[in-house]
Every structure is written in structure tokens, then in C-alpha cells.
Amino acid sequence: MDKNIGQERAWPSDCWSVAVEPSPSVRSQRKAVLWLSRGEALILVLLLSFGLWAAIWGTIALLAIGGRW
């Protein structure tokens, strides 16, 4: 009798779902989502990437200048 009874049960996933109406604040947050087209998303990622690299290299430059004084 080494059977595990818990593994033999196969519950459908519908048994565990609970339908709860989201609060008004959650619904308003969903409406605030801005969907970008593929081109707009690519431009945004590139600008953020360039900004990050500029910040990194700016920090390195400031550290290099600060070491000389």
C-alpha cells in the first residue's frame, strides 16, 4: 500500500478558480496601460539603452577626472 492517494486525483483547473470582481482602483489602473506599437517600443528601448550607457560612461568619466585632482 505505497500508493499516494493525492496524486491519483486529477482536479480540473476550473475547480480552483474564483471569480472576484476587481475593485474600481484596479479597474482604473488597467485602463492606464499604454500600449505601444512595435516601432514605438523599439525606439523607447533604444533611447533607454542609450541613456543608461550615457549614465554609465558619464560616471566613469567623473571618477576618472576625480582621481586626478
Sorted by where each begins, the domain ranges of the chain are 35-69
What is the band of 61 on the pLDDT scale with cuts at 50, 70, 90? Answer: very high
pLDDT for residue 69 is more than 60:
no
What pTM was estimated for this model as a whole?
Answer: 0.47
Q: Residue 1: its pLDDT value, please?
A: 53
In whole angstroms, give the CA distance from residue 57 to residue 49: 12
Cβ pair 22, 29 in contact under 8 A: no
Surface-to-core class of residue 65, CB atoms within 10 Å of its CB (0-12 exposed, 13-18 middle, 19+ buried): exposed
In whole angstroms, give the CA distance from residue 64 to residue 69: 9
Residue 63's alpha-carbon distances to 49, 55, 69, in angstroms, are: 21, 12, 10
pLDDT in tens, 16-58: 555 666 666 665 556 667 888 999 999 999 999 999 999 999 9
Q: Residue 25: its pLDDT value, please?
A: 64
